[in-house]
Amino acid sequence: MSAHGPHDVPTRAELAPMATRASSATLRRFALALAAAGFALFLYGAFTGHARAWQAFQFNWMFFTTISSAAVAFAAVQRITTARWSRPVVRFFEGFVAWLPIAFVLLAATMFFGLDQIYTWATTPPHAHEKAVWLAKSFLIPRDLVVFGLLTALSVWFVWNSVRLDVAILPEGGLAWAKGLRERMRAGFGDERRELHTQHSLQGKLAVLIAILFGFGWVVLAWDLSMSADVHFHSTLYGWQVFMGGWVAMLMLMALLTRLWRNHLGMQDVIGEQQFHDIGKLCFAFTAFWGYLTFSQYLVIWYGNIPEETHFFSLRLTAPWTPLTLAYVAGMFVLPFFGLMGKFPKIWTPTMTIFALSSIVGLWIHRYTEIYPSIYGEVATLPLGAWEIGIFAGFLGLWAWSYLMFMDAFPKVRVFMMTTAARDEVQVPVNAETMEPLPAHE
């Protein structure tokens, strides 16, 4: 590909081979084998009555699913703001949607088969009437399945319309499993300009719904699937901390994946320092915001000094939980906050990799400490071993396999939005039928 200046636009012919270049089939097979091994361990534990199998399943589900849901929400935010900087990289975010239908099935499995192994309230209703009503299975199960089901459906619909534009203008290609889906996407595709505005208008509506439901839905899911492990604790900031933790780790993961895809697809002239710096700035900003939320929650509970609240942190600051609590604070806030203050650490791959991995590993530890201390209380040794690591490996393999299967089935770059002649018209909304600019109030 020829070199482009900062304001040049690559041609469709130049982007097409990049967008359709396949990932490693060996890597997909390895991910699937890892998934099979990890979930075999889980099934063995589930069928032999080892409660830790379900407990490890649950916090790993929270880890991978908050990150994946946040990625689609971030893509929706790019549509709401009609961002142009992210066009070369936003498909890397949208690919996370492949995990959400799988996560819905896994959540349903937890709802119907695993609650008794994780939560005390599933077998012994809380004494407080209000909590007994809220945590009743007949109310909680449909509530959580509906909330996450809606979020999944909207996310899939949103990404479908984004991918459709690229599938329609590029030659047939991609994994065979999605050939029928690609044909459906091409069916009825008309004039590019009209399609651009029609899809842009629809995606604008979907993006707003996703943004609202992401915040509201994950607060509910965090209460039900994480905070409720301790039936005596409640915090209005808890849900925010949970979904913003997933948001931060998602940005950190994208900082890594953007570099990997850039090298694999040969997009050095399309994705450069600007995108690295922009993603790095977002990583720094939301690390600071997550730290603000975390400290705010702790500070209010500390000076309130109400036993129903303070016991939650007292337990996590008691051995043997203390090192893990300090580790996630250091990994998710201290290291990336102070490390990413300057521009150079954000754009230099070795430093960004260190801080990104620090944050991602920190979130995994955080998800563990959100649930396990509430289940086990004061213990002599940490319940952290083969169950937690093995089932994590299974989730990692299944997540990576689903992501790669999506990315190899559809174009990996938003070619349409980068090359269509009308691409900048979306900055001024128009009526998709008349193609006339809408009044400002609309």
pLDDT tens digits, one per residue of 21-55:
999 999 999 999 999 999 999 999 999 999 999 99
Q: What is the pLDDT of residue 138?
A: 95
Dihedral pair phi/psi, residue 437, rounded to 5°: -60, 140
Q: Are residues 328 and 369 in contact, defined by beta-carbon separation less than 8 angstroms?
A: yes
Angstrom CA distances, 121 to 54, 97, 228, 358, 374, stand at 15, 32, 8, 34, 12
What's the whole-model pTM score? 0.94
Which amino acid appears at position 313 of this protein?
Answer: F
Rounded CA-CA distance 420/11 in Å is 9
Q: What is the pLDDT of residue 6?
A: 40
Rounded CA-CA distance 225/134 in Å is 12
Which amino acid appears at position 8 of this protein?
Answer: D
> Along the chain (442 residues), what's the average pLDDT of each consecutive run of 10 residues?
51 91 95 98 96 97 98 96 91 96 98 95 91 95 98 97 94 93 92 87 94 96 96 92 96 96 93 93 97 93 90 94 96 96 95 97 97 95 96 98 97 92 77 67 46
Q: What is the domain partition of the chain in residue ranges?
A: 12-426
Q: What digits encode the pLDDT tens for the residues 137-166?
A: 999 999 999 999 999 999 999 999 999 999
Q: What is the pLDDT of residue 3?
A: 43
Q: What is the pLDDT of residue 439?
A: 64
Residue 181, C-beta contacts closer than 8 angstroms, at least 6 positions apart: 409
Rounded CA-CA distance 386/388 in Å is 6
